[in-house]
Homo-oligomer: A and B are copies of this chain.
Amino acid sequence: MSKKEKIIKVASKYFSEVGYDKATLDDVAKEVGVSKAAIYYHFKDKFALYEAVLCSRFGELAKIIDKIDDSKPIEALREYIESFGKFLVDKPCFSAIFARELADGAMNMPASCSKQMSLNLQKLSKILQNGEAENLFEKENPFMVQMMIVTPLINYRTTKKLREVVMANLKDIKNIDVDLEDIIPNLASKIIKALKC
């Protein structure tokens, strides 16, 4: 792995753990084992490094989503949800970064990333439209459906510690802390049920 790739990897860890503002390039440099100026050799500024992290992840995700065969609406919707979920499981840093970006109103999302998000939404929209044409689904606002899929999953990831606190407060509630992997097919079934005519 090149130094540049290593910088992106470590930076994505820090951006994920503490957020853009609290992540310092001194820390990133230290962990990579280079000087801070080395980061500035590879990236124009802190934000450019953040863009590199973001774009690499959104690019991978868009590729996966694009491959989904949208001819069978219900199967396609399940695959859409499970592919997204699997991506979150595979890339543990992505959830927190994505969640913060949405919470922030995607204020500093580079155009190339929002374009790839748009493509994902276009795929979802097509699945929903096909389902509507076959009288399987009601007419829906695709952005709202996107929110129903994406936000519970990313925030389930980010709120592990909160669940522990809540469980300590409410001893009568059990089995709250299920793994994300087990949540995904459950959420997929619920969303499909909710959208079916």
Q: When each residue 140-158 of chain A gets 1 if its CB lies under 8 Å from chain B and 0 otherwise, what string results?
A: 0111100110011011101
- Judged by a CB distance under 8 angstroms, whether A183 is at the interface is yes
Q: Is the CB of B106 within 8 A of A161?
A: yes
**Stretch of A32-40, A57-65, A163-171 that contacts chain B:** A163-171
- Judged by a CB distance under 8 angstroms, whether A186 is at the interface is yes
- Judged by a CB distance under 8 angstroms, whether A83 is at the interface is no
- Judged by a CB distance under 8 angstroms, whether A107 is at the interface is yes
- Judged by a CB distance under 8 angstroms, whether A91 is at the interface is no
Residues of B near A22 (CB, < 8 A) are: 21
Known: A147-B152, A165-B114, A170-B118. A159 touches B102 (CB 8 A): yes
Chain A at the B interface: SS class: helix
Residues of B near A121 (CB, < 8 A) are: 166, 170, 173
Known: A152-B144, A152-B147. A162 touches B194 (CB 8 A): no
- Judged by a CB distance under 8 angstroms, whether A74 is at the interface is no
- Judged by a CB distance under 8 angstroms, whether A19 is at the interface is yes
Classify chain A: how many residues form its interface, as a range: 35 or more
Residues of B near A117 (CB, < 8 A) are: 162, 166
24 contacts between A and B (CB under 8 A): A21-B21, A21-B22, A96-B103, A99-B102, A100-B100, A102-B155, A103-B103, A106-B161, A107-B161, A121-B170, A121-B173, A122-B170, A141-B178, A141-B183, A142-B173, A143-B163, A143-B166, A144-B186, A147-B152, A147-B159, A148-B152, A148-B187, A151-B155, A152-B152
Please give the residue numbers on chain A whose beta carbons come within 8 Å of chain B beta carbons, in ascending order: 19, 21-22, 96, 99-100, 102-107, 109, 114-115, 117-118, 121-122, 125, 141-144, 147-148, 151-152, 154-156, 158-163, 165-166, 169-170, 173, 175-178, 183, 186-187, 190-191, 193-195
